[in-house]
Amino acid sequence: GQQVMQIPQYQHVQEGEDFTTYCNSSTTLSNIQWYKQRPGGHPVFLIQLVKSGEVKKQKRLTFQFGEAKKNSSLHITATQTTDVGTYFCAGYNQGGKLIFGQGTELSVKP
Amino acid sequence: DTAVSQTPKYLVTQMGNDKSIKCEQNLGHDTMYWYKQDSKKFLKIMFSYNNKELIINETVPNRFSPKSPDKAHLNLHINSLELGDSAVYFCASSPSGGYSYNEQFFGPGTRLTVL
């Protein structure tokens, strides 16, 4: 079945450093979604990318969807302690199921 | 004004017991889901209902039985609880049919611990 792989699993950064997490699917995706889960919290939708090569920005966050629609990335510029949490990518398969990557847990040292 | 709510937030129980988790959404969404998040934070879908009809039924033990009395509610009943059932269970909802690519809104989660 479809697999969504995400790396790295963990990332520890100093406040102010940049952070990137990468997502790869075994099959072409119709779209890619990104969620953030704060420690002890629940996943919260951040953004959805639909078009090949699409790039979207939300303040310090930049999201990209690959040309082949099989990979995506989330880049955070100048991390802050409020960025702490686990970032998940997710894509719908043909059966209508949202398949999540394993997540990247980001910790930020002040 | 909570969008997706779940009860209870914590559930500690003995092996072999039967327990239920309740979920309600006030967003007017048609589709609701149950996810299991294990200790490594891996999120896996278990069930999905669209307008009270079961549309996704993953390979989960038949000890797990979802029920949707109306499109705003989706409950999860678990029989004969096992140690491996310990996890965080999230309810979620999305705006339209199960095969539309919409964002999902998650509830706060129920942390189930089986002793």
Test the A interface: residue of B101, B102, B104, B106 with most A CBs within 10 Å:
B101
As a whole-number percent, the residues of chain B with pLDDT over 90 amount to 79
From the CA of B58, how many Å to the nearest CA of chain A?
10
| Interval B26-49 mean pLDDT | 93
Cβ-based contacts of B58 with chain A (< 8 Å): 97
How buried is residue A54: exposed, middle or buried, by Cβ count under 10 Å (0-12/13-18/19+)? middle
* Model confidence band, residue B33 (pLDDT cutoffs 50, 70, 90): very high
Element spanning A19, H or E? strand A19-25
Q: Is the dihedral angle over the CA atoms B9, B87, B99, A45 positive or is it negative?
A: positive
Task: For residue B110, give the nearest of B30, B25, B20 by alpha carbon.
Answer: B20
Residue B99, pLDDT > 60, answer no
d(CA B101, CA A97): 9
Mean of pLDDT values over B71-93: 96
Closest chain A C-alpha to B18 CA, distance in angstroms: 25
Q: Which of B98, B103, B106 sits opposite A42 (nearest CB)?
A: B106
Predicted confidence at residue B76, as pLDDT, reads: 97
In terms of CA atoms, which chain B residue is nearest residue A33? Answer: B103
Contact B43 A100 (CB under 8 A): yes
Q: Give the H/E segment covering residue A89.
A: strand A85-92
CB atoms within 10 A of CB A103: 25
* Per-residue pLDDT in tens (0 to 9) along chain A, 110 residues: 778 999 999 999 999 999 999 999 999 988 999 999 999 999 999 999 999 999 999 999 999 999 999 999 999 999 999 999 999 999 987 777 889 999 999 999 99
In angstroms, what separates the C-alpha of A77 from chain B's closest C-alpha? 24
Q: Measured in Å, how far apart are chain A's first and last C-alpha atoms?
A: 41
- Predicted confidence at residue B1, as pLDDT, reads 64
Count other C-beta atoms under 10 Å from residue B38's C-beta: 12
Question: What is the structure's pLDDT at B17?
Answer: 98
